[in-house]
């Protein structure tokens, strides 16, 4: 299997979508640059088709969110750059009530509900961390619906900036579509702006300004707002770094962890993951052989959707450079495996990639979460060494 088979499957899903008897859509998108560009592509596609659209940006697809979104009947639900790891839970709560289409590239689970379509390149022999960003998957679906949506290729390539190295697979095909348009586009600038708007500005309408910027271009007001947010984050990062140099990490055998101590309060919780990514390159500060875990409180609100009933924290995990090499050769488990396992054991939910992952868990369970991570890593290392 490969790209052709994946595109053929998109054609089948497109037919199911256009045949479905509802004009009401909930469009759920992730809060990073890939998610915002995916949301912009899907929003453009749906607007052209005349759908009634409710836009919802989420930082992490919690079970309470899935349950709430799928509580009503007879509407179309799109998840873009989010949702694939939770195809099983989405199926459980949808229960054939709504047509649900997931356009994503994260490690997926199978969807058992016949009205839930988990459109993911991983099912077709491609690698979501290499061959297709969420925006690229969304772009090809939009292009399958209407060939004129090929004009959205620049927006798709903005999301693809998160994938390191040379463009391959479906990402490369989008680049060729873009080159055929004969225009110039500053992908890196837009990517940086969206990263800030979606994360730092999550509770201040940032994600929706990001979608507007994708479709209409960067205005002076949006650029100025993003610059203010970036300066706010930079100051918070400096404060957090000073605290860690002064107090250090808490450490176990395999994990080093810290709390943000409310330094990032008022920002979206993705900022803790961005900070952990920065830490992964700080050789003097972090232990290169230990997983980095940072956590912060999660405000009890999903803007534009619902309020959460429990106290939660966002947990982010990254692998320092030396640890990545151990993961790559199979001696240590991937970060996503560690986080998903540990989150499930403490009534949380996690997802991510081999070197970067995150979870949302009840705040009271952080110590148990760390213990589960230590136990899981130890177990997997012993299993590998016995082979």
> 372 lies in a domain?
yes
Number of H helices, E strands in the chain: 14, 13
Residues 187 and 264 in one domain: no
Which CATH number is 139's domain given? 3.90.1640.30
How much is the pLDDT for 55? Answer: 97
> 179 lies in a domain?
yes
- What's the CA angle centered on 195, arms 189 and 197, to 5 degrees? 100
Select from 347, 321, 337 the least CA-distant residue to 381. 337
Written as one string, the DSSP assignment of 71-137 is TS-S-EEEEESS-GGGHHHHHHHHTTSSEEEEE--SPP----STTEEEE-GGGGT--TTTT--HHHH
C-beta of residue 349 within 8 angstroms of C-beta of residue 310? no
d(CA 11, CA 385): 45
Would you call 49 exposed, middle or buried from its count of C-beta atoms within 10 A (0-12, 13-18, 19+)?
middle
C-beta of residue 201 within 8 angstroms of C-beta of residue 207? yes
pLDDT category, 387, cuts 50, 70, 90? low
> 207 lies in a domain?
no
How much is the pLDDT for 255? Answer: 98
For residue range 181-198, list pLDDT tens digits in order: 999 999 999 999 999 999
pLDDT category, 351, cuts 50, 70, 90? confident
> 234 lies in a domain?
no
Residues 71 and 151 in one domain: yes
Strand bridging mode 99-103 / 76-80: parallel
What spatial distance separates the first Cα and last Cα of the chain, rounded to whole Å?
A: 31
Could you give the number of structural domains in the chain?
Answer: 2
Domain edge (last residue) among 185, 202, 219: 202
CA distances from 59 to 2, 126, 220, 316 (A): 30, 25, 26, 12
Domain residues for the domain of 13 are: 3-202
Average pLDDT over the chain, rounded to an integer = 95
pLDDT category, 380, cuts 50, 70, 90? very high
C-beta of residue 215 within 8 angstroms of C-beta of residue 44? yes
Domain edge (last residue) among 167, 186, 202: 202
For residue range 233-277, list pLDDT tens digits in order: 999 999 999 999 999 999 999 999 999 999 999 999 999 999 999
How much is the pLDDT for 201? Answer: 97
Mean pLDDT of 105-112: 92
Position 313 pLDDT exceeds 70: yes
Domain edge (last residue) among 202, 237, 260: 202
Position 134 pLDDT exceeds 70: yes
How much is the pLDDT for 353? Answer: 82
How much is the pLDDT for 74? Answer: 93
- Residue labelled with tokens 């500060």: 285
Select from 315, 305, 286 the least CA-distant residue to 202. 305
Residues 313 and 179 in one domain: no
For residue range 37-56, list pLDDT tens digits in order: 999 999 999 999 999 999 99
How much is the pLDDT for 129? Answer: 83
């Amino acid at each position: 299997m490969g790209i052709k088979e994946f595109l053929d499957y998109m054609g089948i899903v497109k037919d199911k979508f256009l045949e479905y008897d509802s004009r009401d859509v909930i469009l759920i998108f992730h809060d990073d640059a890939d998610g915002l560009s995916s949301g912009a592509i899907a929003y453009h596609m749906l607007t052209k088709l005349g759908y009634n659209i409710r836009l919802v940006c989420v930082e992490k697809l919690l079970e309470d969110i899935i349950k709430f979104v799928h509580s009503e009947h007879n509407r179309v639900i799109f998840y873009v750059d989010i949702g694939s790891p939770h195809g099983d839970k989405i199926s459980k709560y949808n229960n054939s009530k709504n047509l649900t289409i997931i356009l994503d590239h994260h490690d997926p689970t199978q969807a058992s509900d016949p009205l839930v379509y988990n459109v993911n390149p991983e099912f077709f022999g491609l690698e979501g961390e290499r061959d297709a960003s969420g925006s690229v998957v969304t772009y090809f679906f939009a292009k399958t619906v209407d060939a004129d949506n090929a004009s959205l290729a620049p927006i798709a390539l903005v999301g693809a900036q998160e994938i390191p190295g040379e463009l391959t697979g479906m990402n490369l095909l989008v680049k060729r579509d873009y080159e055929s348009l004969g225009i110039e586009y500053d992908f890196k600038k837009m990517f940086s702006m969206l990263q800030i708007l979606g994360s730092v500005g999550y509770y201040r309408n940032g994600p929706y300004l990001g979608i507007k910027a994708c479709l209409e271009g960067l205005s002076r007001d949006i650029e100025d707002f993003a610059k203010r947010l970036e300066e706010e984050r930079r100051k918070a990062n400096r404060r957090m770094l000073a605290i860690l140099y002064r107090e250090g990490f808490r450490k176990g055998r395999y994990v080093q962890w810290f709390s943000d101590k409310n330094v990032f309060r008022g920002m979206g919780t993705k900022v803790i993951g961005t900070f952990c990514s920065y830490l992964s390159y700080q050789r003097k500060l972090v232990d290169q052989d230990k997983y980095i875990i940072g956590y912060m409180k999660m405000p009890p609100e999903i803007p534009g959707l619902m309020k959460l009933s429990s106290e939660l924290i966002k947990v982010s995990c990254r692998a320092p450079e030396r640890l990545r090499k151990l993961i790559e050769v199979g001696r240590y488990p991937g970060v996503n495996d560690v986080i998903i396992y540990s989150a499930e054991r403490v009534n949380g939910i996690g997802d991510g990639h081999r070197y970067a992952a995150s979870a949302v868990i009840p705040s009271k369970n952080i110590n148990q979460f760390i213990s589960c991570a230590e136990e899981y890593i130890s177990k997997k290392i012993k299993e590998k060494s016995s082979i």
